Every structure is written in C-alpha cells, then in structure tokens.
Amino acid sequence: MFSSLSERLDSIFRNLKGSGYLTEQNIKDSMREIRLALLEADVNFKIVKKFIAEVEKRAVGAEVMKSLTPGQQIVKIVHEQLIALMDTEGFEMKVYNNKLTKIMMVGLQGSGKTTACAKLAAMYRKKGIKPMMVACDVYRPAAIEQLKILGRQIDIPVVSDESKDVVIIADKALKEAYSAFTNLLIIDTAGRLHIDADMMNEVARLKDHVKPDYIFFVADAMTGQDAVTVANEFYNKLEFDGVILTKLDGDARGGAALSIKAVTGRPLAFVGTGEKIPDLEVFYADRMASRILGMGDVLSLIEKAEESLNAEEEEKLARKMLKNQFNLNDFLKQLQSIKKMGPLESIIKMIPGIGSKLPADLKIDDNALKHVEAIIQSMTHKEREKPEILNGSRRLRISKGCGRPVMEVNRLMRQFEDMKKMMKKMNSPKGMKQLESMMKGQH
C-alpha cells in the first residue's frame, strides 16, 4: 500500500539532502514533485492544489532548524500537513457495556461491508462488548448465508428473516438485541449504487427507522478518487458518521485515504488491511501519514534529533572540527547526544534508505558505546584535551579505572587519531581534491 507514493516522496527528499538550505528554488522543485506524487497516487486534484499551497507557505516561512537537513524540514512539514488533511477530530466509535449501540454499514457492491461487520464485531467483543449482527441484504442470494457463516466462525449471533423488507428484519433484530442484552448491533446492508434512487431510499428508510448511532460508509481503497465521488453522494443522502476504508493491503495508491475527509468532512474511522477477521485497524491520522511517507521512521528520528541536539552546540563542534581542535571531550559530548536518541540499532534502522536494507537480525552492541564512554570518563580533563600525552602508564591507569582492557583503550585512541587525520584531510584543499577524486573513482 502507498508504496509508489512513498517511493516518490522518498526520492524527492533524497534529492534535497544534497543542498544545505531550503531555498526558493529547491522548495519550488520539491513542491512540483510532491504535486506529481500525489496526483499519481490518485488524490483529488483540488485537494492536491490546496495541500501544496499550504506546504509551500510553511516551507518558505520555515524557521531554519540547524539540526535538520532541508529534506528533513520538508518531510516534517509534509507530515504535519498530511495529518491535518486526514484529521479525525477525535472521532471515536463509543460503545458501552450497559446499553445498546446501533451501527449500520452502507456502500457500493463488493466494497467490504459484510466482512467489516464481522471484523468490527470481533474487535469490540475483545473489549468486553456483546455484539449481534443483522442480515439486511435481501438482494444478493448468498448474502444472508455469508453473514451467518461469518457469525458462526466468530461465534456471534446473526439475525435474519424471510422478509424482503429491511425494516421488518431490523425490527426483529432490535427486539432480539434488547432481550439478549446486546451492546452492539451491527446492520449489514446490500451493496448499492448511489445513482439507484430506490435502493438509496430503502437505506434512508432503514436509517430513519433504526436511528443508528453510527453509519459507516464502507469504501474500497482500490477505487481511488472515485470512492470520494461516491462517498459524497452517500453523504448527501445519509450523512454517515465515518468511513471504513478497506483493501488497503492491496496495491491501492492511497488517494482515497487522503481525499475522503477533505471532501466529505467525515473522518476515516477504520481501515481494512486484509480478508481475515483481525485485519481491521482503528484509523489514526498520524500513523497513516507516517505510513504514506514510508520513510523508515525518519519522522521519529527528526523528533528525537530535535529533542536531543542543541543546534548551537553542534555549530561550535563543527567549527572545532574545521580547526582540527576536536578533542576527546567533544567526542564524549557527541557520544552522549547520540545515546540520548535511543539504542543505536533503532537509530540506524530509522535512517531512510538504510533501514530497509539492513538484515532483519542485525544486532548492534550498545555496550560498545558505553565502554567507549567509560574509557573517556576515566581520563583526566587534561588527557581528554590533549590525548597525545596518553603514555603507557596513563593508559594502564585508565584501563584499571574503567575496567576495560588496555587493548581497548589503545584501540579507541587509534580510532580517534584516524578520525582526526581524516578530518584534517578533508579540511585541507588538497584533502578535498583527494576526496573528490576518490568519489569519482580516479585514484
């Protein structure tokens, strides 16, 4: 799901990584790409236009955060705007264990209504709610039997009747529901086309009679933008309360998920992610936005970076590196800010483009960092500033102080020296040339 959209967005942001700042030009370029990515994902063009305008406005006025690259800044803004676009405004289906809540499923043929009835019933039963289902699809021959089979499968009662009048069936169900102290009555209805006036009137009549607490419009995500048009029609007739978007596990391009709230003003309530009963999730705009961006988890990385890195301090450090005055005290500070971001393994996995390529069983030893820290902490301040004074006896003392073998102290010092040498190389004009030719592969 959303894979092509997230891939496109990913490459846009990767291109932005190279440049140092958000400029008018790179904002413009990335807005064009984001617009294309959204249109390709079948998002309604009016929504795309509005969305881009909002993102652009914020990007232009964005406070430059030193700890974020331009790409990350744009990701942050796009992510926040995606959340705003799909905002559920706190919608929650409330069901109580001491009264009856009635819900009704409506939508086009084959959108996943019957499956959603069973999925919801199972989901709420897990919360200690007592559900019952009602078969009000009197048109498709096997529809009643389908609901009964699902009911048996999850052990939830299903009310059905010979009658072809949905109101009569619903009445029978209401009586049974009250006498069995049911908490959640889920009414399955037949699939219908929004242009079929008779069928639309039937479901409107059912609504007036049952007075459901919630009506859900069930939409197949694969239908893309069309789902939005249909949703609008159903909304005009029934004023449903929320949307259940199904088949998000398929190769849906995601447009419907992004457009429905904006067009109908009604939130996504649940999403279907498979054919099986447990494949139903409560919809959360922030999670969906992260999924759409699909960038490892660059977003939490951004958040963590914001929390733990002080931009000014970073700049001071960068200046020191340039002058090659970087010492072990600075190194320790760097280590500690990395540590604040969480386990190394999860940080590395969050880096876009890397996370997905790592072997699943990758283990990074956080203890190694702790040991390095312990070694540096066993040095005197002077030793940290001038590591070159670390002779054999000082190293032995440090080793005893931190409980790590001398060999490890030596190794750390060697690595630190190598790092400094590399920085020196990079800072000299000759070094930069060397580095450039290395990258071009001309040694």
Ligand X SMILES: Nc1nc2c(ncn2[C@@H]2O[C@H](COP(=O)(O)OP(=O)(O)OP(=O)(O)O)[C@@H](O)[C@H]2O)c(=O)[nH]1
The entry of ligand X, Mg ion, none that residue 30 binds, CB within 5 to 8 Å by partner kind:
none
Q: What is the H or E stretch that residue 103 is in?
A: strand 101-107
Per CB under 5 A, contacts with Mg ion among 110-129 are 113-114
Site map (CB under 5 A) of Mg ion, residues 330-359, x = contact: ------------------------------
Stretch that binds ligand X, among 56-64, 111-119, 231-239, 432-440 (CB under 6 A): 111-119
Name all contacts of 35-38 with Cβ < 8 Å and 24+ positions apart: 36/8, 37/5, 37/8, 37/9, 37/12, 38/5, 38/255, 38/258
Helices (H), 285-385: 285-293, 298-308, 311-322, 328-340, 344-350, 366-377, 381-385
H/E stretch holding 246 = strand 242-246
- Give the nearer residue to Mg ion in terms of CB position, either 188 or 297: 188
Least separation in angstroms between residue 108's CB and ligand X is: 7
- Give the Cα-Cα-Cα angle 327, 328, 332 (nearest 5 degrees): 125
Identify which of residues 194 and 371 has a Cβ nearer to Mg ion in the complex: 194
CA 358 – CA 170 distance, rounded (Å): 54
Q: Are strands 268-272 and 280-282 parallel, antiparallel or unpaired?
A: antiparallel
Give 235 or 270: the residue with its C-beta nearer to ligand X. 270
Residues 68-97 that bind Mg ion (CB under 5 A): none
> Which CB sits closer to ligand X, 142 or 362?
142
Site size toward ligand X (CB under 6 A) is 21
- Report the residue from 33, 84, 110, 384 that binds ligand X according to the rule CB under 6 A: 110
Min separation Cβ 17 and ligand X, Å: 36
Residue closer to Mg ion (CB basis): 81 or 115: 115
| Ranges within 231-290 binding ligand X (CB under 6 A) | 246-247, 249-250, 272-275, 279
Q: Could you say which residues in the range 10-29 bind Mg ion, by CB under 5 A? A: none
Which residue in the block uniquely carries the two structure tokens 């670390």? Answer: 390
Closest approach of Cβ 224 to Mg ion, in Å? Answer: 21
**What is the H or E stretch that residue 148 is in?**
helix 143-154
CB 218 to ligand X: min, Å: 6
- Using DSSP's 3-state secondary structure scheme, residue 273 falls into coil
Q: How far is CA 314 from CA 319, 342, 415, in A?
A: 9, 19, 21
* Count of chain residues binding Mg ion (CB under 5 A): 2
148 forms part of the interface with ligand X (CB under 6 A): no
Q: Got the DSSP string for 250-261?
A: SS--SHHHHHHH
Query: How far is the C-alpha of 322 from the C-alpha of 334, rounded, in Å?
Result: 16
Shortest distance, CB of residue 251 to ligand X, whole angstroms?
Answer: 10
137 or 383: CB nearest ligand X = 137
The candidate with the shortest Cα–Cα distance to 283, out of 252, 246, 255, is 246
Subset of residues 169 to 198 that bind ligand X, contact rule: CB under 6 A = 191
User: Among residues 6, 73, 88, 114, which is the contact residue for ligand X, using CB under 6 A?
Assistant: 114
Summarize as ranges the residues that interact with Mg ion (CB under 5 A).
113-114
Summarize as ranges the residues that interact with ligand X (CB under 6 A).
107, 109-115, 137, 140, 143, 191, 246-247, 249-250, 272-275, 279
